Structure 1
């Protein structure tokens, strides 16, 4: 079981998505950016570190959503999503192929990694309930 945190970074009514590169597992699919927890880290610490390492921006996790378990061949991922505030920096793609700031209404149109699909659905319900 691999624990992975992911960031739903919100800014100006849009959310940050990243497209996996050709060299990554699940190539060319879209995801909420994040990464694996390291020993001794809290989920929030791991998320702040991963987003800084992968994208060069600063985020502040503020609300944990329901984790999603997704089986892959040979392992299971527990994806732990957090709503995050964007706190600055310029996006610099160090691992991903592309990024996009998308409105909630645009999210269903992306080709998502399978583990992210339930998180997209949960996020859309949350946004609708905020409305």
Structure 2
């Protein structure tokens, strides 16, 4: 089975809310929520990949902080390793270039959304650590 390493940004704003991204109808798992990010390309560190992906997806620069979660999920046709990092925006305002929409939610409310399965360990970690 194919294995893919991806990174995701748990982006916090000044109100301590988290940026949640809705997968568009043209993406796999349409209509599910995720942390923005993408595939780690050959030769990139996870942090380099995350900075590039956020620039491409949201037109923003970020400062990458601590690791939140490193978890693997087996979908029917692919195994996804998702590495998520805490981040803050240093330049720009998020624009959904690839996602259907973006919303900011307090950590205590993010579990009310329908998340992609690979993102669930990050949700659990955020709620356990009380960010």
Q: Which runs of 5+ in 1 are unaligned?
A: none
Q: Given the alignment of the two structures, is residue 78 of structure 1 paired with residue 81 of structure 2, yes or no? A: yes
Range with greater deviation from structure 2 (50-59 or 86-95):
86-95
Q: Which runs of 5+ in 2 are unaligned?
A: none
Question: How far apart are 1:17 and its partner, in Å?
Answer: 0.7
- Runs of 4 or more consecutive aligned structure 1 residues displaced over 2 Å after TM superposition: none
For 1:121 and 1:66, the matched residues in 2 are separated by 9
TM-score using structure 1 length: 0.93
CA RMSD in angstroms comes to 1.0
Question: How far apart are 1:93 and its partner, in Å?
Answer: 1.3
TM-score using structure 2 length: 0.93
For 1:120 and 1:15, the matched residues in 2 are separated by 11
Partner of 1:29: 32
Write 1 or 2 for the structure with the bigger share of strand. Answer: 2
The secondary structure found in structure 1 opposite 2:9 is strand
For 1:34 and 1:90, the matched residues in 2 are separated by 16
